Structures are given as C-alpha cells and as structure tokens.
Structure 1
Amino acid sequence: MSNLRVGLVPIVRPLFRGSRLGLEHSSRQALEALGPKLGFELAFVAEPVADAAQAEAAARAAQNAKLDLLLVQHVTFATGDAFMPLLELPIPVGLWALPEVWESGPLPQNAICGLNLGVSLAQKPTKWFYGVVEDTWFQARLQLTLQALRGARVLREGRVLWLGGHAPGFFAFGALPETGLTVEKADLSELWAALAAVSEAEVEERASAFRELSEYPLEVLRESFRLELALEKLARPYDGVALREWPEIPDQTGVMAYAAMARLADMGYTLAPEGDVMGLAGMLALKAISGRPAILLDISHFSSKGVMLWHGGEAPQVWAGGPTRLVPHFNRNLPAVRDMPLRAGPISGLRLLPGRKAVVHGGVLNGDKGYDGDSGHLTRPTWAGEPLTPRQFLASWLNHRIPHHLAVGMGAHEEALLEMCVWLGLEVLPPRSEERRLVW
C-alpha cells in the first residue's frame, strides 16, 4: 500500500510575536524530512491561516487533496473561527501546538492554549499533538496515528474476494464488514475453472522450486501446487481472499487447501479460511498496522499453560518458532498442512463484529507447540489494553459470544488498533470476564 498522504495547515495570528519567527516554515521542512522515516508524504501545505475566510479556503483545498490525515498547526493562539472549518472536514484531523520559543517576558505564541481551545471545540474524534517535529513525544504520537490510519485505510478502501461463501454451518461468518471494505462474491466454479487452466509446465516449475520439509514426495504434492497456482491467479487483483476451503476442495481435488494457502502467505497473499470475511478484514488491518502477515486461529484448548490457539496449517513461515514441514491433515489424512510451532513473542488481535463493533486484544505467545498444524499458547492476555488472566480472557470471549476466529498479528499494536477503531467509528467491547453466572 502507498504512503499515507498528510496535509498541514498552519494557524498564525499576526498579533502574536511568534507569528513573525518563521516557525511554520522550519516545522514544515522538518515534517517533510520525517516523512520517509514514518512512511508518509506531506501532500498538501496551506498558506498560514489567520481568519475564517482563509480557513474555509484551506478546508476546501485540503478536502480536494484526498488526505489521510490533516494536521492543523497552532503556531500561535487563534480563536475558533480560524480553524473550525478545518475540524469539520470528513478527514482525520490532528491539532498540533508548537512549543513557546522563550519562557519569560512577553508571551510569544500562546500556542498550547490554542490547542486547548481547539480540542474543546472539536465535535468529532481529533488527535492532539505537541512539540517540535524532532521531539520523541511528537514522533511517537504521530507514528501511532499513522499506524492506525493504515489499518483504517485498508478497511475503508480495500477490495477482497469472497470465494465460495462461508463454510457449512458457520453461520456467523456470513456477516460482512461495515467499514467500506469492498467484498466481491464468486462461486467455487471460478476456482474449478482456474484449476483447469493451470498447465502441467506451471505445476512442474512450482514443484522444482519446492524446498520445504515434507512427509510427502513431490509427486503427491502436485495437486497442492496446482491449487496454489489457481488460488494465486484468483487472489492477484485483491487485497485478500476469504476462501471456503472445505468440504468441496478436498472432495474434488483430493488435497486440503492449507499447504497451498500457507505457501501463498509466504509470498505476501492474505487468505482467510472457512470463508470468514470479517476475519480477513481483521487480518488486513493487522497486516497494514504491523507490516507483517496476520493469521486466523481458533481457541482449541485451555490449560495451565494458557489458551491454546490453533488452526489447520495455513500460516506463513515467518510465524514459525521452529522447523516447518508438510504433514497429513489431522482429520482427513490428506495432503497437506504446514505443521509448526507459532513463534514466541507479543501479538495483537482484532475481531470485527456486526453493528460496527470490535474486539481488540493482545498478549504473548510462549512458543510451546500444541496440536498438529500451526499452534501455540496465549499467555498474559489483554483486552482493550486491560491485562487479564487466561481464564478471564476465555470467559470474556465466550460471554461476548464472539465468532470462533481470532485474527492475530505480530507485535504489540493494541494502541494503534484502539485508535483505528476510533477513526472508523467502531465501538470497542470491554472485557466481560464473569466466570460463574450466566451472561447473555
């Protein structure tokens, strides 16, 4: 995905001494220099705004610039008429105050007071910033917002394929995101046609490049490679694919889809199993925020080790905490699934829900492998930033009646996920860890 587009509108009241020091010019240069480091471009800069007419003109220009974030910079204090047209734009807005250039004598800018006025007048979510561009506090807050907006952008503007609908009986997976994500539906007949179009030469080329440990000889994996090539062709135009990978695929091809899905994930494709579009959306947001592939997992066991997270074997190798190998499916004994422990370390999770709701969670994987496929134990879980015990986490998940897939990304990104939900207008559910009585 391309860099985020950031705009800058400086607010400068000529009455203040600080308006004549060129602070808006030096901070603009510093912001432009920071862009490549944090993954944004300064795509729009307005002339300094001092009154309502100038603010309205700057607002029109900013909206036409198709920005992901607009920074309204208080170089000096200004009253609401000089910035309210900017706060009312349908664009994420940050209010930013520059520090005073001296600390005694005549007040030079009164910028932080302008920031205070601005946040008190804002009628929609607005992020505040303070400091010069070089300050670590300013950069940390901006970086967090940029991560959140990357997640928000893919959920607003992304395009995914729902191939075959949801798995049989998994009725909760029939819900679709309400964030603007475009979902295109296709029947599995398109997959059968794509499979028929794969040439033997393509299969041979894919087989000759195979290097992973496997319990199967190459000849047995040929149909898995054919499925991989067909899925890759269908996935190429999209940000992700939610695939109904059973029961039709193994019934018709004699192979499970998981090894093919795992190898495509190695190549950067995002595929969600069991036709879970909401899970796919969570994966895409986590990938955009973390910069690493995300996976879907089930809660499959609970013990003193924690909450065991598992799925059938479609995770990319970057998630592996040890050697990987292709093995038979645990239930059908068909080729093939990728077997591996999930790597130890912090994780973050997102589950979108109907009614513009979401669960944001996190924790640590301890590196202990569980069942065949991709598996690990969740320890030190958190829910919307609140620490829970593993039992409280499990109780909260069940008490809220959350569908059975956890979209999980690498790293501790709950703050960015929570901010993303604010920008998208999603209600984040609190933990609900009552362990004894009926909760409905």
Structure 2
Amino acid sequence: MTPDDLEAARAYIDHDYDLIINVCASFSDATPALALYSGLAQPVLLWSFREPGPVGDRLWLNSLCGSNLYAHALVRAGGSVRLVYGDPDEAAVADALSLALSGDLPSAKTLPPMVRERAEAQPVREALNSLRGKTLGLVSEAPPGFTPSEFDGDLLQSLFGLTVHKLSMDEMFSRIDDVSAEACNSEEVAVRTARPSLAALDPDEVSRHAAVTVALRDWTAAKALSALAIRCWPEFPAQRGVCPCSSLSRIADEATPTACERDVYGSVTMLLLEALGSGTTYLVDTVDLDVSNNSVRLWHCGAAATSLAADPAEATQFVHCNRKIGVAGNFPLRTGPVIMARLTENITDKGVDGLRLLIAVGESIPAPNRFQGNTAEVRLEVDASAFVNSLVVGGFPHHTVLAWNDVRPQLRAAADLLGIPITEW
C-alpha cells in the first residue's frame, strides 16, 4: 500500500524461500511487482480472486486485472509468472496451492496460436498508408506502474508513420480554464439533450464535464489529432472535481478514438482497427471469468461511446464507480460477434523487439451491466480459463480493444506487412 510496506516486504524476500505467492487482493499498479520481484530466477505465483458483489454494483476487487498488470510488468522485465484464479474455499485453488508448495507450479503452457486466412494485401496496405502522417494527442505521462502505457515514439513513426503531440497536465487544465462560458453553456445544452440522464447528476459536475469536453474537442480540431490517449486520474478527479470518462465518450461518439490511462499502444490499436473497417471500438480490462458460461467479462469505468451501448437510448450517465463524482457512463455494451485485439511490446529472450499483436474472438452475449461503468460479457471460441491464463502468463497488457466488426483477416495481413508476430486464440 505504501513505500514503507514495500521495504517491509523486501526484508522477507532477502531471506531464503521456496516460493513467492503474491495475493492480488485488489488492483494496484505494478510498482510493487517491479520493486520486489525484478530479477528473480524463479516464477512468481499470482493469486487472484473472483469478483464478489451484486450485479450493477461497482467492481469491488478488480483482482484479476491486478494480476494481469503485474504479469505484464514482470514478463516485460525478463521475469516469469504463474496464475491461480479462484477463492480460498475452492478445492481446485487449495489443490493448486498445495502442489505449488511442494514444488509443482501451475502450468505456464499457453493456448497455441491459430493460423487463419489473410485479407488481400493491397487494400490493407492502403489502410496502413492512411495512418501515415496522423497524430496522436497525449495528455501527461503514463500513470505510475502502468507499464502497458509506456511507448516508443520512434517505433510508432517507423511502423505506422504516426507522431505524437503531447500536453502536460497543467497545459490541459489551462485549456479547460480558457473555455468560454458561452462555449461551455452551448456544450452543456447539447450534451443534456443527447444524454438526458445527466439531469440526475450534480449540475456543477456536469458543467465541469462540459468544459472538459470542449477543451478536448477544440484541441483535437486545432492540432488535427486522430486519436487521444489521456491520463484520466488522479489529477482530473483530485484537482478538478470531475472524471473525464464521459468527455472521452463524447469525443468517441464524434469519431475520434479515445483511450484512458494514457495508453498509447491501446490508442494505436484502435486507430489500426478502425482504419481496417472495425467501426467504433473501446479499450477494456479483462476483470472476471465465468467458467460455467465459458465467458470473460470485459469492463472499463465509463468512457464507451454511447453508440456502443446495448441500447443507445438507455446509455445512462452516472457518477464514477470509484470516485463517486461525475461524469461516467453506466451501461452494458452492445451484443453480437466481437473481436479483441492489442498491439504491445514483443518480448523475447533478448528483451523487447518491436511489437506483437494479440487477437481473440467471441460473442458479446445479452447480460445486465455486471459492474458500474461499461461491461460486456464475451463468450469465447476458445477455453476461457486457458485464455485468461495465456493472457497473464504470456505477459500481455491488461488493456485490450473490443470491436464489433470482424476484421481479423485484415489484421493478420497488416501484421504480416509490418513484420509483427501474431498470437491469435
């Protein structure tokens, strides 16, 4: 929880041990993982719990996502991990822990990648060429310990011809302060008309939300930005009393992809998917696993475009699930066939070597909004437990991009043209 706690934990690791089990009781950034476990010769066993709480409540733990983030950081740094998923009273969990204590760690085996059809190269080449010269708008730095939000600007330029335009948090806040009362009022009237549920929220928070939207929209237009990756916390809620989720949603509804937590490779994945014909996309965490339904629950805290709602007319705007201030979306996501995709660092025995591409496929099935924010329950084509294990043990990011049009053949062809290896499930 604190730097002092890390130092206390380090004292245990300095002694002889047979096994390290890191209980990801909740979500945290990966700073503790890197501080405690970098350079270990043996794997770290990450233990995550199932999500409790009633349907429609906040995400209580986000424990699985915590393991996912820890794993990405450790694998990226040259380490390895194993995963145990389940609650302490489950027999399978007790068996897995008993075996681990006797020296038999859970399997590191991942799902074998699939080889499938490619689209014709020429249209895909044209889509890739359409990205060249485009600019990503970034606000501030990656949140501490969010290793998936770090990026290599030279690599983006060489692979995709993309550049970045970056604002500091102070510069972003100055732009918000410069929004005129007239422009703010005009946006507030428009957004209240488009999103009537705002009437139930604090008027001051809705007004601050309108100012953030205008500032983001004006910046996007002034700099001809093609996508945004925004550091959305802690400064926005802590210093400005507003969550930018619904503002990012508003910009996404206007056809500019938006990624929270300043996830640059996430926003590039969104740009690539949309260039290939995916339509509007959304950046999500994998937060829960339902073995009985072979499904995973994909979620984020409320920045989805309202066009992606299961019922756009009921795309409720609410307070942020954790911060309890406005404004964030609170509605289930669209049903139907979906794909998940993600560009991330290609981790090899010699370190990071360019990018790799993750692809998965499933169906978003009708379900209530399991967690406050935006949730999709996706029944996978492959074994869901094996998928989650592969995601964590393979060191993939906790963020993937969800799309409702199947552009997998185009994605495969694009990866081939760019020399990017594919892991597809």
TM-score normalised according to structure 1 size:
0.61
Q: Check if 1:408 corresponds to 2:402.
A: yes
In the alignment, the residues of structure 1 paired with residue 242 and residue 126 of structure 2 have an alpha-carbon distance, to the nearest angstrom, of: 36
The residue matched to 2:317 in structure 1 has which SS? strand
Cross-structure match for 1:190: 171
In the TM superposition, what whole-angstrom CA distance separates every residue of 1:356-396 from its partner, at most 9, and x where no partner exists? 21112222111323211111111124xxxxxx121222122
Counterparts in 2 of 1:378 and 1:223: CA distance versus 1, 3 Å: same
| Identical aligned residues as a percent | 24
| Residue 327, structure 1, aligned to residue 303, structure 2 | no
Matched residue, 1:396:
390
Q: CA deviation at 1:255?
A: 0.6
* Higher RCO (CA-CA < 8 Å; seq separation 6+): 2
Q: CA 1:156/1:402 → structure 2, altered by over 3 Å: closer, same or farther? A: farther
What SS class does the counterpart of residue 234 from structure 1 fall into? helix
> Which residue in 1 is equivalent to 2:71?
none
Alignment match, 1:350: 341
**After alignment, is 244-253 or 216-225 more displaced?**
216-225
Q: Tell me the residue number matched to 1:313.
A: 302
Residue 150 (structure 2) aligns with: 174
Deviation (angstroms), 1:241: 1.3
Following superposition, the deviation at residue 400 of structure 1 comes to: 1.1
Q: Which range moves more in the overlay, 343-352 or 221-230?
A: 343-352
Aligned pairs for 1:119-138 within 5 A: none
C-alpha spacing 1:234/1:407, structure 2 compared with 1 (3 Å): same
- Closer/same/farther in 2, CA of residues 254 and 147 from structure 1, 3 Å limit: farther
Q: Which residue of 2 aligns with 1:281?
A: 268
1:156 and 1:390 mapped to 2: Cα distance? 36
Match of 1:272 among 240, 246, 259: 259
- Deviation string 1:191-224 (CA, Å, 9 cap, x unpaired) is 1121111011111111112221233154440000
Q: Distance in 2 between matches of 1:350 and 1:378?
A: 14
**Cα distance in 2 between the residues matched to 1:421 and 1:317:** 30
| Corresponding position of 2:375 | 375
Distance 1:275 1:151, change over 3 A: farther
Give, as a single letter, the amino acid of the residue that structure 2 aligns with 1:377: E
CA contact (8 A) 1:363 1:378 kept: yes
Paired with 1:364 and 1:412, the residues of 2 have a C-alpha distance of 11
Query: In the aligned structure 1, how far is the partner of 2:386 from the partner of 2:240?
Result: 42
**How far is the alpha carbon of 1:418 from its aligned partner?**
0.7
Give ranges in structure 2 of 5+ residues lacking alignment: 1-116, 346-353
- CA gap of 1:293–1:223, structure 2 versus 1, over 3 A, is same
The 1:242/1:220 distance shift into structure 2, 3 A limit, reads closer
Equivalent residue runs for 1:419-438 within 5 Å: 419-429=413-423, 431=425
Compute the displacement of 1:294 (Å): 1.2
Map 1:116-155 to 2 at 5 A: 144-145=120-121, 148-149=124-125, 151-155=127-131
Question: 1:185-224 maps to which residues of 2 (within 5 A)?
Answer: 185-209=166-190, 210-211=192-193, 212=195, 213-214=197-198, 215-216=200-201, 218-224=203-209
Most deviating of 160-169 and 267-276? 160-169
- Tell me whether 292-301 or 160-169 shows the greater mean CA deviation: 160-169
Does structure 2 retain, via aligned residues, the 8 Å contact 1:297–1:310? yes
Q: Deviations over 1:241-263 (max 9, x none)?
A: 11101001111210101011111
Instruction: Using the TM superposition, give the Cα deviation of residue 232 of structure 1 relative to its aligned residue in structure 2, in angstroms.
Output: 1.1
Distance change >3 Å, CA 367–CA 155, structure 1 → 2:
farther
Contact preservation (8 Å) 1:265, 1:271: yes
Q: TM-score, normalised by structure 2?
A: 0.63
**What is the one-letter code of the residue matched to 2:383?**
T
Q: What is the aligned-residue RMSD (CA, Å)?
A: 2.0
Number of residue pairs aligned between Structure 1 and Structure 2 = 285
Distance 1:341 1:308 in 2: 11
